[in-house]
Amino acid sequence: MIRLSVNVNKIAVLRNSRGGSEPDIGKAATACLRAGAHGITVHPRPDQRHIRPDDVHAIKALLPPQAEFNIEGNGFAPARGAYPGLLALVAAARPTQVTLVPDGDEQLTSDHGFDLAADADRLRPLLAQLKQYASRVSLFIDAGVRDVERAAEAGADRVEIYTGPFAQAFAAGDAGRELELCTRVAERARASGLGVNAGHDLNLANLGALKLAVPFLAEVSIGHALVGEALYHGLEATVKDYLRILNA
């Protein structure tokens, strides 16, 4: 079974655009879980443009024991102001999973994975630290990355395939090459003992094709598209639509 983790960052963007506490991130997370989602993903950034450290703690407190909690972030970004750093957040929240992403403030959203040939050695001690506080650690990678096996050698439990290029190609009507890249890297990752997640720009239109190509995916993390689709159909109904695709 492919598990669905709903990223609630966009709910925080809406809240922060106006100030105050609406829309309520906790209520949104609860609605997703009530509809059948297997977990909740957050991606706190040092600039606190959406999810803030207090949101991380609040969501952790409301999650039932069976729900997974995935915290994404750049483990090399230093503490800044009210942002204590990813390691401190993970130590306090003890999530099910940490997904390391090489992003910076200048990026509107995550748009590339780690270069494992260049980054594996410096990732190794960070992975060891994080695994003291989290059940598993995943690395964000490009579908065309070389040496995906180095993720396992560095101590990762899983990789998350960056599916943005696949989604763009799918929307343009020619996803064959990108889908093949996703399939190849997923198979190599699995052969090296890694679990395989996927995320970024997945939606109701393209998720089925990815699932058929990589049926052994462990988890998909979906936020931006799901929240957008929920504006038309409702949050719980949209989560159920995604689950129908994953369970077909």
68 catalytic? Reply is no
Other C-beta atoms within 10 Å of 99: how many? 27
Q: Which of 104, 102, 111, 109 is nearest to 80 (CA)?
A: 104
Statement: residue 112 has pLDDT above 90: no
Q: Among residues 160, 200, 219, 229, which one is catalytic?
A: 200
Q: What is d(CA 132, CA 130) in angstroms, rounded to the nearest whole number?
A: 5
Let me know if 43 is a catalytic residue.
yes
**Which is the catalytic residue, given 38, 50, 68, 72?**
72
| Domain extent for 119 | 3-247
How many folded domains does the chain comprise? Answer: 1
> Where residue 37 sits, what CATH number does that domain have?
3.20.20.70
Gap between the Cα atoms of 164 and 54, Å rounded: 29
Give the per-residue pLDDT at 109: 72
User: Is the pLDDT confidence value at 7 over 70?
Assistant: yes
pLDDT digits (tens, 9 = 90+) for 67-95: 999 999 999 999 999 999 999 999 999 99
* 61 Cβ neighbours under 8 A, 6+ residues apart: none
Residue where the block lists tokens 């009507």: 173
Q: Is 233 a catalytic residue?
A: no
pLDDT tens readout for residues 179-206: 999 999 999 999 999 999 999 999 999 9
